[in-house]
Structure 1
Amino acid sequence: MDKPKTLFEKVWERHVVKSRESEPDLLYVDFHLMHEVTSPHAFNMLRQMGRKVRRPDLTLATMDHQVPTTNLDKPVQDKIAAEQMDALYKNSEEFGVKMLPWGSKGQGIVHVIGPERGLTQPGMVIVCGDSHTSTHGAFGSLAFGIGISEVAHVLATQTLPQRKPKTMAVNIEGKLPSDVTAKDLILGILQQIGTDGGVGHVIEYRGEAIRSLSMEGRMTVCNMSIEGGARAGMIAPDEVTFEYLKGRSNSPTGEDWDEAVSAWKELYSDEEAVFDKEIYIDASKLKPFTTWGTTPAQTIPLDSKIPYPTNETEKRALEYMGLKPGISIKDLEVDAVFIGSCTNARIEDLRAAATVVKGHKVKEGLRAIVVPGSMNIKEQAEIEGLADIFIDAGFEWRSAGCSMCVGMNDDILQSGQRSASTSNRNFEGRQGKGARTHLVSPSVAAATAVIGRFASVTDLNKEEVTQ
């Protein structure tokens, strides 16, 4: 009888091309995603080696990190951004790689366009020169970020040497409270495991709370696996996964679809499978969260007070964030609200935020922007009237890109400004030199934009009653 295996072990073993003792396994890569920032040097390495792209049909390039999200009809003003975008265009053309240029239909954040086009499928090994490639693990794929030399290796060979990580299970049992979103769930997980809790492991998220999430919610959870130090995050595919993929442009059809689903249903951790590390979380005790410090693990419930520092790292975080221990997080005023990023810029996220802001106005003096995750999502949001709701409320409605998540082009904060952001990182200077970032869900971001202080939807409803 075969040894019981985890989901990760099943996917890994199916992709091993060569395995030798004391050496990394050589893995076959099913799909490779690229963007303009980490690709130029990789293509230069191919030229130096005199190599071609082994399987150009298994690589898709898009422009996302550096692209402006306004003035698509004008030349790119940022010199570095323009150079990187031009390089990706020319490299893709020279090496025969399909590329989605800035502003084109289908262009968008690399971890948004893969799933929406049906390119991300269960059981795959997917790589990209970006740490948040873990997003795709929501489909039961093994997806992780790689370095520039590894990008070149994949381009040249469609394989990648990798040492096998350990396995970790995060079990979230019970039902999530009605006001707790997928973003709150992953922030709660990070609060418990810390930024190094998953180092050297691939995390599988399991339990009733995970199964209850939509695919968009599952992508949000897996997206931030890297913030806990994990190599990747995975969720076993189920009917929710299959329904999301059915009918997408690159999904199987007809008999091929039936065969694919039959194979995907085998992608789960066997009942007796043993994980190297396992933790349990009671979903019913989770609340809407926000970060207070400079790592995603420095997180507290929205109804809490800023904690007193227990070490020098926390003391430095408080100083950088301009916070005093003991004050309520809800007393903090914000200068900006950002709804976007590969974590929370999908159509479901925009619908949630629009539902909250409908009929309201952004607090006077506060800057609020919405950046869809792809041009397809932008179009869909405009068809549904979501864009009109945001614009009427006083939000800036932008085109697709990473935008303020990475603080590039004009989408940055000024030093000392405080933001409520649906992105994935709140590091020092992440959204601009001296900027102070608090990570929140789309619903909290929307309520905060209206009230001007950190607020939940419940707080917004209460304020309406008292007015």
Structure 2
Amino acid sequence: MDAGRGTGRTLYDKIVDAHVVRDLDGLGEEVLLYVDRSVLNEYTSPQAFTRLRAANRPVWRPRATLGVVDHVNSTAADRGALMPDEAGQTQTDYFARNSADFGIEKFDVLHPMQGIEHVVMPEMGLVQPGMVIAAGDSHTTTYGAFGALGFGIGTSDIEHYLATQTLVYRRLKNMRVRIDGRLGFGVVSKDLVMTLIREIGASGATGYAIEFAGQAIAALSVEARMTICNMAVECGARGALIAPDDKVFAAIEGKPRAPRGALWDQAVAYWRTLRSDEGARFDQEIALDASEIAPMVTWGTSPDQAAPISAYVPQPNGRADIARALDYMDLRPGAALADIPIQRAFIGSCTNARIEDLRQAAAVLRGRRVAAGVRAMIAPGSSAVRRQAEAEGLDRVFIAAGFEWRQSGCSMCLAMNDDVLAPGERCASSTNRNFEGRQGAGGRTHLMSPAMVAAAAVMGRLTDVRKLGARA
């Protein structure tokens, strides 16, 4: 019997088993998998629709898919319906045509629920425990915070999904990451997942679905769990899961597309069964102590090139990858991370732009000002988050501190719009990737939590948020 399978099944295997349409290899390893829902964006969907048109195929279940404009749109406070460049306009025009022709609901840039797909889907109640959700974005793993199996797919798989509501899928191995203990002052879920990525490396979970468990995970809010599952892909995982609990049910209840009445009661009764069995076998287990984790920052060009803020830029010691990263980042080995100056600060992305993230940043910024020479901006994860922040007065805190209060979208996370670093600019960023050129050609990115970004913006350099006395 394969590890993680059989009478004691993992949560991952329970979800996959419930969605198998056909065993394709006779071993249960390669299967035809039913997919409950997807979300499309203007950037990754055009080729799939073009191929559907060429084959004269309809979308099998249009109502199972939501379209969202989020990648190429401007986040300027006064933005209109037009995109900032011709290529972006072409993409969004084609997206609108495809959504209309194939009967797919779409939230365009001026829709009141517009935002980043992985923020919008949960806001609508479209992400529910036990679901399989596949989408053309690698950070679809975010949905594991709700006990749903989410993963990214390529354009040919998007076409296959749209035409059949299924995917050819190879079963993953099971990894459990148990995090016990209590988070210290100023330490948040971003620090937990960055620590894991540093510990096992950028490919340490390749071929695995990770189940996160333990006291520290149970204590986290659903939004904080979303951050962890979002960044699980940065250590190679193609799936991330946390068993759903009462916090998850409360986060879903009452959302526009959530079940209601008797259907809600039936759904919750089923969702409570979604957890790994006692004795379920995992192919690999990792344990971390939350009390030993400190606020983290990256120093290199991969999310696993990270360290506590109190550490120093590492010595290459013959490692070509470290030498290349330090050369690109223009960092001197042995320098204190807390002495690295910045020119930009960015809070946003599907990793850290929800209301909880903005509250944490505001707690740092209240009564403080952004340092001279630093341009700082906040792009909320969705229009709904933006409205809630304004209702709570957070926008006034940000503006008073010197941050630009922008509209929602992917923004500077991947510089596919007009929010771009200039060559050589160094940015403290709450995003998920620090690859070369990720935020703009020649731009240098340091990943950290939103509160750490706020602290860096105020001090003009990478800073331990705990020294500002603000609780993240």
User: What corresponds to 1:84 in structure 2?
Assistant: 91
- What's the counterpart of residue 261 of structure 1? 268
Checking the alignment, whether the CA contact within 8 Å between 1:103 and 1:399 is kept in structure 2 is no
Alignment partners' CA distance in 2, 1:63 and 1:188: 32
| 8 A Cα contact 2:185 2:466, kept in partner | no
Q: 1:460 to 1:273 in 2, by over 3 A?
A: same
> Structure 2: any 5+ residue segments left out of the alignment?
none
Counterpart of 2:68, as a letter, is T
Q: 1:33 aligns with which of 35, 39, 44?
A: 39
SS at match of 1:30: coil
Residue 459 of structure 1 deviates from its aligned partner by 2.0
Residues 265-306 of structure 1 deviation map (CA, whole Å, 9 limit, x = unaligned): 100011100011111111111000000000100110011111
Aligned partner of 2:17 among 13, 16, 34: 13
User: How far did residue 453 of structure 1 move?
Assistant: 1.0
Q: What SS does structure 2 have at the residue aligned with 1:377? A: helix
Deviation at 1:461, TM superposition (A): 3.7
Most deviating of 227-236 and 20-29: 20-29
Counterpart in the other structure of 1:57: 63
Q: Which amino acid aligns with 2:276?
A: S
**Whole-Å Cα distance in 1 between the matches of residues 43 and 452 of structure 2?**
31
Partner of 2:79: 72
Measure the CA separation in 2 of the matches of 1:230 and 1:202. Answer: 6
Q: Against the structure 1 CA distance between its residues 91 and 288, is the aligned structure 2 distance closer, same or farther, given a 3 Å change threshold?
A: same
Q: 3-state DSSP class of the match of 2:281?
A: coil
Using structure 2 for the length normalisation, give the TM-score: 0.96
Counterpart of 2:324?
Answer: 316
**Residue deviations 1:377-419 (CA, integer Å, cap 9, x gap):** 1111111111111111111111110000001222011111110
Distance in 2 between residues matched to 1:261 and 1:133, nearest whole Å: 23
CA contact (8 A) 2:300 2:322 kept: yes
2:140 to 133, 137, 162: 133
Letter paired with 1:396:
E
Alignment partners' CA distance in 2, 1:119 and 1:20: 29
Q: Find the counterpart in structure 2 of residue 425 from structure 1.
A: 433
- Percentage identity across aligned positions? 49
Structure 1 runs (4+) deviating above 3 angstroms are: none
Residue 415 of structure 2 aligns with which residue? Answer: 407
Q: How does 1:335-346 map to 2 (within 5 A)?
A: 335-346=343-354
Is the Cα–Cα contact under 8 Å of residues 416 and 435 in structure 1 kept in the other structure? yes
TM-score of the two chains, using structure 1 as the length reference: 0.97
Q: Secondary structure at the match of 1:341?
A: coil
Residues 74 and 257 of structure 1, relative CA distance in 2, 3 Å threshold: closer
1:465 corresponds to? none
Tell me, in whole angstroms, the C-alpha distance in 1 between the residues paired with 2:279 and 2:221.
27
Q: CA deviation at 1:456?
A: 2.5
- Which amino acid counterpart does residue 122 of structure 2 have in structure 1? P
Does 1:47 pair with 2:46?
Answer: no
Deviation per CA, 1:189-226: give whole Å up to 9, x if none.
Answer: 10101001100010111111111110000000000111
- Once the two structures are TM-superposed, the CA of residue 74 in structure 1 deviates from its matched residue by 6.3
- State whether structure 2 residue 210 is matched by structure 1 residue 203: yes
Which position in structure 1 is the counterpart of 2:168?
161
Between 1:264-273 and 1:68-77, the stretch displaced more is 68-77
Unaligned 5+ runs, structure 1: 463-467
Task: Tell me the number of residue pairs that the alignment of Structure 1 and Structure 2 aligns.
Answer: 462
Once residues 329 and 127 of structure 2 are traced to their aligned partners in structure 1, the CA distance between those partners, rounded to angstroms, is: 37
Aligned to 2:296: 289
Q: CA deviation at 1:172?
A: 0.8
